[in-house]
Structure 1
Amino acid sequence: MRVLIIEDEARIAKRLQRMAASFFEQTSIIYICDSVQKGMTYIEEHQIDLLLLDLNLNGENGFDILESVVSESFHTIIVSAYTDKAIMAFEYGVLDFVPKPFDEHRLGQAFKRLNSNLKRTDEPVKFLAVKKAGSIKLIAIEDLLYIKGAGIYSELHLRNGNRELHDKSLETLAQLLPTSFERIHKSYLVSLALAEKIIIQTGSKYGLLIKNGELLPIGRAKYKELKHKVI
């Protein structure tokens, strides 16, 4: 686990480092930056799995970092006293928001999301961000038809017929999206709000017909679970 902590208060940064080291394997790489610029430089030069980010860095705005990394493959957990910014942060697709002051139990809950299929049920994720021609393009969740796995990337299929490539894997996106999104196949993630019906095909194969007329494959292991959810 490669963890980057961007926190300007040395005492809190060391506490986060200590808690992360005790939760993850001892071979984890945990690095600390105390400013927006240092954090951005580190992200540009190193691969990370998790970002722990404060929103107030000696008067600098942590959202400057968040806005630039929302399409990256790693997860972000906000650790901040600015709880009024939580909704906005979740709209950017962060994994969790840990309010200051925090304890080991609360931070551990956030860490556990990295190793589980837990989804958020109460935070309004409004968009996903993709890199496009050197800039960040925001894709509204309501514009998504479904997401198809493409190796370490994911292919977003939109209502307007367009497709966009996202740097996060299908597994990572599944942790961020609302609970209406279901993994119906190892390579497909779709909102059941768009489901029309399940089609039983020859050869014991199953498909999910969605509202635009496309038929998506259903994994055999998922069929029993889905048939009770799709009317």
Structure 2
Amino acid sequence: MNTLIVEDITLIAERIADLTTAYVSGAKITISHTLEDAKLHIQEKAFDLLLLDLNLNGKDGFELLQTAAASSFQTIIITANRDQAANAFDYGVFDFISKPILETRFKVAIDRLQNNTASYREQLKQLAVKTKGAIQLIPLEKIFYIKASGNYSEIYTKDKQCFLHDKNLEKLLAILPEKYERVHRSFVLDTNKIQKIIKHGSGKYSLQLQNDFSIPLSREIYKKMNNHF
């Protein structure tokens, strides 16, 4: 498991690395002591796990958390500030560990991580997109649907805005709550937003959403969903 440890105090970073080696299966560890270095690593390498301190030499680790909010890796916060950790759950973090780090608590978090593949996704409340060089957070409740756009995705909101996301549909589905499903090769949406299924004949179907808006529905997904509508 490729693991990025972001911690500005060397001794603490080394302790986290030792615990990671002991409890994370097949751990391959990278350590960053600064926010800037961590950002570079995330851009250059695919990680499975981020172990993040939110206070990095006086800089706010939330900036990195926002950048990573729509990445497919999982995040565990390690911090002395419990209030910060509570706010971090809006970004879909898996767990947080208080400082000073207890080995037993670290093991509990890693065991949960390695034996649980879905529950952390249910905590995600926002998606991060880059807009004009800045990070903007979009609440999931405002997202109408998501459409494939080559290697990217277009996020359409209820107020008729469109944001280009740098992750494709497969990567977004890896972090979105389970209620988000791919209803067509080009479309993902929260299935709770579906009002009804429309049959067009000749094996063609669509989904009616709010405001009489509709998107295509694949035949394979229709067979799964037909009993629920």
Bucket of the pairwise TM-score, normalised by the shorter protein: 0.7 to 0.9
1:42–1:98 CA distance, 2 compared to 1 (3 A): same
Partner in structure 1 of residue 131 of structure 2: 132
- What amino acid sits opposite 2:39 in the alignment? M
Partner in structure 2 of residue 15 of structure 1: 19
1:119–1:209 CA distance, 2 compared to 1 (3 A): farther
Q: Give the aligned length.
A: 218
**CA distance in 2 between partners of 1:16 and 1:152 (Å):** 33
List per-residue Cα deviations over 1:84-117 (Å, max 9, x = no partner).
43442122243x124354344531432566xx5x
List per-residue Cα deviations over 1:25-63 (Å, max 9, x = no partner).
xxxx5311233343234345x233333322244665422
Partner in structure 1 of residue 212 of structure 2: 213
Identity %: 33
**CA distance in 1 between partners of 2:121 and 2:131 (Å):** 29
* Structure 1 segment 68-83 matched on structure 2, within 5 A: 68-70=67-69, 73-81=71-79, 82-83=81-82
1:108–1:221 CA distance, 2 compared to 1 (3 A): farther
Shift of 1:147: 0.8
- Which range moves more in the overlay, 196-205 or 220-229? 220-229
Partner in structure 1 of residue 33 of structure 2: 34
- What amino acid sits opposite 1:169 in the alignment? N
Contact 2:145 2:190 survives alignment (8 Å): yes
Contact 2:152 2:168 survives alignment (8 Å): yes
Mind listing any 5+ residue stretches in structure 2 that lack a counterpart?
Answer: none
The DSSP-based 3-state class of the residue aligned with 2:227 is coil
**CA distance in 2 between partners of 1:93 and 1:106 (Å):** 15
Contact 2:152 2:166 survives alignment (8 Å): yes
TM-score between the two structures when normalised by the length of structure 1? 0.77
Contact 1:119 1:177 survives alignment (8 Å): no
The DSSP-based 3-state class of the residue aligned with 1:78 is strand
- What amino acid sits opposite 1:107 in the alignment? I
**CA distance in 2 between partners of 1:172 and 1:119 (Å):** 17
Contact 1:153 1:166 survives alignment (8 Å): yes
- Which range moves more in the overlay, 159-168 or 172-181? 172-181
Shift of 1:77: 0.6
Cα RMSD, aligned residues only? 2.9
Contact 2:198 2:207 survives alignment (8 Å): yes
Partner in structure 2 of residue 4 of structure 1: 4
* Structure 1 segment 1-231 matched on structure 2, within 5 A: 2-7=2-7, 8=9, 9=12, 10-20=14-24, 22-23=25-26, 29-43=28-42, 46-50=44-48, 51-57=50-56, 60-70=59-69, 73-81=71-79, 82-94=81-93, 96-100=94-98, 101=102, 102-104=105-107, 106-111=109-114, 118=118, 120=120, 123=123, 125-230=124-229
**CA distance in 2 between partners of 1:150 and 1:3 (Å):** 30
Contact 1:23 1:108 survives alignment (8 Å): no
**CA distance in 1 between partners of 2:151 and 2:112 (Å):** 26
Mind listing any 5+ residue stretches in structure 1 that lack a counterpart?
Answer: none
List per-residue Cα deviations over 1:110-161 (Å, max 9, x = no partner).
2566xx5x254752x3321211111112222222110122343221012222
**CA distance in 2 between partners of 1:228 and 1:49 (Å):** 39
